[in-house]
Chain A
Amino acid sequence: MSETISYLLMAWSDPNLLLLTALGTFAGIYIGAIPGLSVTMAVSILVSFTFSWEVNSALALIVGIYIGGVYGGSRSAILLNIPGAPSSVATAFDGYPLAKLGEAGRAIGLSTVMSVIGGLAGTLVLASAAPVIGDMALKFAPRDYFLIAALGLLLVGSLAEGSLAKGVFAAALGTVIGLVGMDPVTAQGRFTLGQVELMGGIHYVVVMIGLFGVAEAFYQLHSLDVPAVRQQVTKIIPSVAMVLKFLPLSLRTAVIGVLVGALPGVGGDIAALMAYDHAKRTVKKPSRPFGQGAYEGLVAPETANSAAVGGAYVPMLTLGIPGDAVTAVIIGALVIHGLNPGPMLMVESPHIFWFTVGNLALANIFLLVFGLMGIKLFAKLVELPKAMLIPLILVLCVVGTYSINSSMTEVYWMLGFGLFGYFLKVFGFQMGPVILGVILGPMMDNSWRQAMASVGDNPVELLGELLSNPVSLILTVGITLILLGKTPVSGWLKKKCKCTPVTH
């Protein structure tokens, strides 16, 4: 027990580790906030120059960058409507309208506190329930992964403003983009148009930077003559009453974040979107209508995406399966340091598990400090003339895209996606479903084929498994209910319930 506590407090008591965690968190906030710079990219670069370091020092810096980066993405989402990370897509839905209303300071302050609550909740779950959640995730069959991904796409599609058809179209289009390249099983080209260059696929970061960075830059050219929004940053630290008001929603969405984050491959992006959807469905009287600056629409995704960080560590440390892209890179870092992430890690190197738990908690404390301190400085970004900011965004997008594979072709793709995204945006299509489709499409394809192969390509048998397996059944019922909720059937049922006379 005393050993566990000493591992837990290692990062808190060692000045070197303390400094590295603080540095990582601070840098992570600003890396996450810069459009075109992703936390995945930053962690990938870090791994390359920290492999000669002592493992705890490397992990301290990486954990700080991860925690800070996930949170930092929300800043550009709020101030510029450009999510710095996929997990901040949902933050922009209400965060940007809040900035336009002159409440950016309060929005960032509240998002900071809620991120810390979510992050600490995720860490607590990681520490207390990791083996249990790991066992749950281990029991998932390929059909369940398919259903989870379908649920994610359906949810993000249903979030699209105005039209479910547009949301579904965008998600399906993203899925097709995600499938471009060589089939992993038969090595056959799919959607490559016979081009050898496309056999390697299109990296989702290229699509993300194009759709969120370049498309937004082009879209912002319409409002070039509008003076920059002067942000109200006098009220930064949210009042206790405000925090307490949103605490129940924050705790509920923290649970969503941890659970979704613990699902392999499903990270903070889906957690945030699911939490936003939860808020939309359960909050009857939001502070403002959702999409127009509702604080509830900010609290839910911000808590969930931070809680998902702790969740994402669960399958990584207990099963060796990454919870998201960043933990996939961290697995690589652990292997470089001679560690073996998976069930044996807890037995062979328990100090790594408890050190990570303590380090995550510490990074969240630093997040609270740096998050609330640097708001005024960062808010000045939006006061920069757009005529300077827009060209700079394009340059950052070019740098960010080129750094993935050092390919100029991908930079051209990024610009192409940006122009396409601009027109999609003009005609009322959302970008979030496209990105989710790109990320989840290959996973769905793989899970579908594994699921079908497991039942000998017999759809009836698959249906039987969907109905007989508890996890599959819950997911199937969830998907069916969401689908029914978006069809005239739900309206008819509601009408029927209202019209049914009460009998005494």
Chain B
Amino acid sequence: MQNTLEKRLVGELAFVCLLLALAAGIAVEAWGIAGFSGISSPGAFPLGISAILLLAGGRILFDTLRRPDSGAGNWLAAARQFCAQHFPRRILVFTVLAVAYLASIQWASFYISTFVFLLLSILYLRSGRPLAALLTSALLVGLIYLLFTLAFSVYLP
């Protein structure tokens, strides 16, 4: 019960509302499978699960609303605080690098894109030290080649 007195995290209420909206969307999809045409129809179990999702989501929302507000102020201030706390620039940049890495695998080779991704990520996350980043990236790509291509013969992208 102590947790109920803790302040809400900034963005928590919005996230819970999004989860509840997701649960509602899942319920609509479940209904669309076969309605409630029979207790052993393809949609019966998904409907039951979506009902549990909605009930649990409702309870989470209730528990979240009972807790004191995060005190972030208006929505703009809350958005800023949310970014600072949960989605700082470091995570944003790493996400962009990860997406770019996945996209580049298809047109550059796996090894080249992996090497560039490791190099840029290590450079950014370690704030410099280019020689160490270069050597580490090359070493890691070499290890990946030895382990996956030679030892395990894994299909690589």
Can you list, as one digit per residue, whether each of A409-420 has a CB less than 8 Å from chain B (1) or not (0)?
A: 001100100010
Taking a contact as CB atoms closer than 8 A, the residue among B29, B34, B39, B121 that contacts A188 in the complex is B34
Q: Type the 1/0 row for A439-452, where 1 means its CB is closer than 8 Å to any CB of B.
A: 00100110011001
Partner of A415, one of B23, B26, B99: B99
Are B155 and A402 within 8 A (Cβ)? yes
Contact partner of B9 (CB less than 8 A), chosen from A394, A406, A426, is: A426
Chain B contact patch, size range: 35 or more
Cα A408 to Cα B102 with chains together (Å): 8
Q: Which residues of A contact B88 (CB under 8 A)?
A: 221-222
Interface string of B24-65 (1 = CB under 8 A from A): 001001100110001110111110011011001101100100
- A391-B117, A412-B102 are known contacts. Are A218 and B94 too (CB-CB below 8 A)? yes
List B contacts of A175 (CB < 8 A): 49
Contacts of B46 in A (CB 8 A): 176, 179, 190-191, 445
Determine chain B's interface SS by DSSP, over half rule: helix
* A395-B144 contact in complex given A169-B53, A176-B50, A186-B42, C-beta closer than 8 Å: yes
Q: Is B136 an interface residue (CB 8 A)?
A: yes
Q: Are A176 and B53 in contact (CB under 8 A)?
A: yes
Q: What is the total of A-B residue contacts with beta carbons within 8 Å? A: 152
Q: Are B40 and A448 in contact (CB under 8 A)?
A: yes
A76 nearest CB across to chain B (Å): 15
Stretch at the interface among A159-167, A200-208, A331-339, A372-380: A159-167
Given A169-B19, A408-B106, A221 and B38 touching (CB < 8 A)? no
**Given A395-B117, A427-B12, are A224 and B90 also a contact pair (CB < 8 Å)?**
yes
Q: Is B98's beta carbon under 8 Å from chain A?
A: yes
Q: Does B152 belong to the interface (CB within 8 Å)?
A: yes
Please, which residues of chain A bring their CB within 8 A of the CB of B26?
176, 191
Q: Counting CB contacts under 8 A, is A135 at the interface?
A: no
CB pair B153–A391 under 8 Å, yes or no, is no
Are B40 and A449 closer than 8 Å at their CB atoms? yes
Determine whether the beta carbon of B98 is less than 8 Å from that of A394: yes
Asked if A435 is at the interface of the complex by the 8 Å CB criterion, the answer is: no
Q: Is A453 an interface residue (CB 8 A)?
A: yes
Q: Which residue of A lies closest to B12 (CB)?
A: A427
Task: Say yes or no: A403 contacts B86, CB within 8 Å.
Answer: no
Complex contacts, A186 vs chain B, CB 8 Å: 42
From residue 394 to 410 of chain A, which have CB atoms closer than 8 A to chain B? Answer: 394-395, 398-399, 402-403, 406, 408
Question: Provided the pairs A45-B152, A411-B157 are in contact, do residues A190 and B42 lie with their beta carbons within 8 angstroms?
Answer: yes
Identify the closest chain B residue to A448 (Cβ): B45
A402 closest partner in B (C-beta) = B157
Contact B157 A408 (CB under 8 A): yes
Shortest B103–chain A CB gap in Å is 9
* A419-B95 contact given A391-B117, A408-B106, A457-B38, CB 8 Å threshold: yes
Contact B49 A221 (CB under 8 A): no
Answer yes or no: B125 CB below 8 A from chain A CBs.
Answer: yes
Contact residues in B for A457 (Cβ distance below 8 Å): 38-40
- Does A185 touch B at the CB level, under 8 Å? yes
Q: How far in angstroms is the closest Cβ of chain A from B63?
A: 7
Q: What A residues does B76 contact at CB under 8 A?
A: none
In the complex, the answer to whether A49 meets B153 with C-beta atoms within 8 Å is: yes
A402 to B156, CA, bound (A): 7
> Within the assembled complex, what's the spacing in Å between the Cα atoms of A166 and B15?
13
Question: Judging by beta carbons under 8 Å apart, are A452 and B40 in contact?
Answer: yes
Asked if B60 contacts A406 (CB within 8 A), the reply is no
With a cutoff of 8 Å between Cβ atoms, the chain B residues found around residue A391 in the complex are: 117-118, 121-122, 125
Question: How far is A385 from B132 in the complex, measured between Cα atoms in Å?
Answer: 12
Contact partners of B126 in chain A: CB under 8 A: 385, 387-388
Closest to B121 in A: A391
Known contacts A165-B59, A398-B101, A448-B45; 14 further A-B pairs (Cβ under 8 A): A168-B52, A169-B19, A183-B33, A190-B42, A191-B30, A221-B94, A222-B91, A391-B118, A399-B154, A399-B157, A411-B105, A419-B95, A427-B15, A452-B39
Jot down 26 A-B pairs with beta carbons below 8 A, ordered by A. Answer: A45-B152, A49-B153, A163-B60, A165-B60, A169-B53, A172-B49, A172-B50, A176-B46, A176-B53, A221-B90, A387-B122, A388-B140, A390-B94, A394-B101, A395-B140, A398-B101, A398-B157, A399-B154, A399-B156, A412-B102, A419-B95, A423-B86, A449-B44, A452-B39, A452-B40, A457-B38
A residues with CB within 8 A of B: 42, 45, 49, 162-163, 165-166, 168-169, 172-173, 175-176, 179, 183, 185-186, 188, 190-191, 193, 218, 221-222, 224, 385-388, 390-392, 394-395, 398-399, 402-403, 406, 408, 411-412, 415, 419, 422-423, 426-427, 441, 444-445, 448-449, 452-453, 457, 459
